[in-house]
Amino acid sequence: AAGTPMLRVQELSTHYGAICAVNQVSLHVNQGEIVSLIGSNGAGKTSLLMTICGAPRASGGQVFFEGEDITQAPTHLIMRRGIAVSPEGRRVFPALTVIENLKMGGFFLTGDEIDAGMEHVFELFPRLRDRAHQRAGTMSGGEQQMLAIGRALMGRPRLLLLDEPTLGLAPLIIAQIFEIIETIRGEGVTVFLVEQNANRALQIADRGYVLENGRVVLEDTGAALLANADVRKAYLGG
């Protein structure tokens, strides 16, 4: 419905035993937005992103996708509803080829949908078409990242969750990845981006959130966060 955010996270908490990794976080992502979540190592970014996907389970609070409570839904049903995640560390299957990895991302699709999804991914990432039969483990970090994003796109998600897609990549590749994220958004996919590369992440974001010790401490437009003195000092090198 109009006015309902695509994703709404309401006082969400995640615990690992006694450790509280996500502490009553509330945020939302509107349809068509790029929203970035920044924060330092161990702030709880990955835990928050993965809790949205149902693994780990929330210890408190709720997650709504298109108005429906998905907090307790199994991960595979969350994915089928239109959310996809490209996890931290890329996690492609190293022994499988590019094509085989992409098929894994479309395991719930029909044959025709897999063919169409793969063609779409190859248009976005021509490099992957050139390497269609190469084993993922032998590709460069940037190529593996493209594959991880491509795999997430196979099911034609409406919401794409990206966990540190530029970590450990060379500057030129980082620029390419951010361009691709904007292209993906241009195709109508809403993007929630977790990044340590705060500068670039806020540059492409409509809005952003700053996470510290499991809590949201700041939220604003990307431009306002980029200009914020505290953010500059803590995350942008002064």
The residues facing 16 across adjacent strands are 19
Q: How far apart are CA 169 and CA 175, in angstroms?
A: 10
Q: Which is nearer to ligand ATP, 138 or 213 (CB)?
A: 213
What's the min distance (Å) between Cβ of 190 and ligand ATP?
A: 21
Residue ranges in contact with ligand ATP by CB under 6 A: 16, 19, 21, 39, 41-47, 88, 196
Q: Which residue has the tokens 């980082």?
A: 174
- Sign for the pseudo-dihedral over CA of 42, 209, 232, 165: positive
Output 21 or 139, the one with its CB closest to ligand ATP. 21
Concatenating the DSSP letter of every residue in 88-142 gives: TT----TTSBHHHHHHHHTTTS-HHHHHHHHHHHHHH-HHHHHTTTSBGGGS-HH
Shortest gap between Cβ of 63 and ligand ATP (angstroms)? 16
Token pair of 5, please? Answer: 């955010």
Residue placing its CB nearer to ligand ATP in the complex, 102 or 194:
194
Which C-beta is closer to ligand ATP: that of 43 or that of 193?
43
In whole angstroms, how close is the CB of 198 to ligand ATP at the nearest point?
Answer: 12
DSSP designation for 155: T
Smallest distance from the beta carbon of 23 to ligand ATP, in angstroms?
10
CB of 84 to ligand ATP, least distance (A): 18
Residue bearing tokens 């835990």: 47
Residue 135 and residue 181: Cα distance in Å, rounded? 24
Question: Is the CB of 87 or the CB of 106 nearer to ligand ATP?
Answer: 87
